[in-house]
Structure 1
């Protein structure tokens, strides 16, 4: 095994100097532009605060009815609605309602941002191969980079708080909706596009009336995965100030509170299952509708 020690390596002093230069350059960048970047993300902070205030400030019975209504509209499945009702009632009974509402508001904001950015980017990738060649390596890095690593530059730029956690969660959760939007549009039957061309449809009309409706079930699968990945980041995001179910879990880990960690962990699992079942059911309904319409 001596050959392992003979592998050519950079001199330690030189490597240390390079790391020091990079670290000092990034610190200088944060000092010079940190305030400007923070101002740029101020609308996100306001959006997050308003969503959280609505979920925590509205009487619980109204929020409960709203969640049940969304579950019914999305799934049209009595079993899913009943499971949603039981889960939310148990969360409230065990005193985790407020933390759950904070987590749901964060997931909602992250999902909206991921959809608003991810779907147009996926469409652009489907239309231009060069765009796909540029974006795919970036998505590979986003999906394989350890989630803790996202926190370092974000915290250095924006400090501790809601916005850094939100950005970290969006970076981690966005790739599925981008990839599956791209895939869904690329898988649209070419005969359908040729028929649209025969009717004199413009590129925008083909996208709006043919490609997006046919790709919608695949896009919904991407949104489903984005929601699941955002929930997976709840505990990690709590390390930099994101409130919700992640903070009690983090506190339980630090202080070895078994029941606190288990109860809040089950609450995270419960809302994850609700989101998963409702979004999956909605995607299946869209697929059936698309098959009926496009025959």
Structure 2
């Protein structure tokens, strides 16, 4: 009857050998290709450093005005703009400006990378059911994998620093970008596509001039979700050297600094609300524009 209470499993020695083989293979891969991978990611490192320097070295009134202008052009809503300005002023008043700007620059670079990588994959999925069937299980695994697990292979390949943290954040945050790009293109009205075919449009012309503009509100929802997930990953990525608001939170957890953790946590919430409101307002504007076009 023991088999009812003890699940049958691989022999301990065989399991240990299997794990050893996998670990050794990964280490060998790291030793052989680690330097080459670092060279591949070097442009991303320069982009991140440039973005961080711009956000931290530019005088704060200029950065505040630039962010307010972006919020206005995206939302055309004075309440959102005033909320953005007040939130950033409070963050600066409580001496969290530099860390916040580092976090904003990280989220900006992560979002750009997610768009550059995610949209082409989403387009490929929308064009082929076979590609969709292959990529969907991968996205399912990526979205259900505990966020800490992403740090293990990234650190083993690239070490500790900004770029490994950036890669981990992008991998964690990119699935909504891919899924909603695929969904947005697939939801484009077939009658509109038939009209484009009737005018002799090529596949590229249909994608560029019909499908992408009409799918843009859905794609914006994907960008919104990607930003939110990237912000959620910032604190965890601080464990491997990502600077910003995550590091004070990690320090507060380690040393039981209650106010430090609460203040920086609230700053992360404030930044998340700003990104969320601005991107949602922009998506709503695009949706209204699409309804006017259809009308």
- TM-score norm. by structure 2 comes to 0.98
**Greater CA drift, 274-283 or 34-43:** 34-43
Distance 2:28 2:208 in 1: 46
2:59 paired residue number: 59
1:155 paired residue number: 155
1:264 paired residue number: 264
- Does residue 33 of the first structure (1) align with residue 27 of the second (2)? no
- Does residue 14 of the first structure (1) align with residue 14 of the second (2)? yes
Distance 1:94 1:11 in 2: 57
1:289 paired residue number: 289
Give the 4+ runs in structure 1 shifted more than 6 A. Answer: none
Q: 1:31 Cα shift?
A: 1.1
Q: 1:3 Cα shift?
A: 4.4
Distance 1:6 1:271 in 2: 49
SS of the residue corresponding to residue 233 of structure 1 reads helix
Distance 2:257 2:55 in 1: 27
- Does residue 84 of the first structure (1) align with residue 96 of the second (2)? no
1:109 paired residue number: 109
Distance 1:47 1:35 in 2: 19
Count, aligned residues: 295
**Greater CA drift, 264-273 or 130-139:** 130-139
Q: 1:219 Cα shift?
A: 0.5
Distance 1:291 1:238 in 2: 42
Note the residue ranges of structure 2 that are not aligned, 5 or more in a row.
none
Per-residue deviation, residues 82-119 of structure 1 (Å, max 9, x unmatched): 11011000000000000000000000000000000101
Note the residue ranges of structure 1 that are not aligned, 5 or more in a row.
none
2:201 paired residue number: 201
Per-residue deviation, residues 25-45 of structure 1 (Å, max 9, x unmatched): 111111111111111110111
1:246 paired residue number: 246
1:190 paired residue number: 190
Q: Root-mean-square deviation (CA), in Å? A: 1.0
Q: 1:124 Cα shift?
A: 0.8
Distance 1:289 1:46 in 2: 37
Q: 1:226 Cα shift?
A: 0.3
Distance 1:201 1:217 in 2: 23
Per-residue deviation, residues 237-271 of structure 1 (Å, max 9, x unmatched): 00000000000000000000000000000000000
Per-residue deviation, residues 24-73 of structure 1 (Å, max 9, x unmatched): 11111111111111111101111100000000010011001001111111
Q: 1:7 Cα shift?
A: 2.4
Distance 2:233 2:4 in 1: 37
1:93 paired residue number: 93
**Greater CA drift, 33-42 or 256-265:** 33-42
Distance 1:4 1:272, change over 3 A: farther
Q: 1:294 Cα shift?
A: 2.5
Distance 1:77 1:250 in 2: 35
- Does residue 169 of the first structure (1) align with residue 176 of the second (2)? no
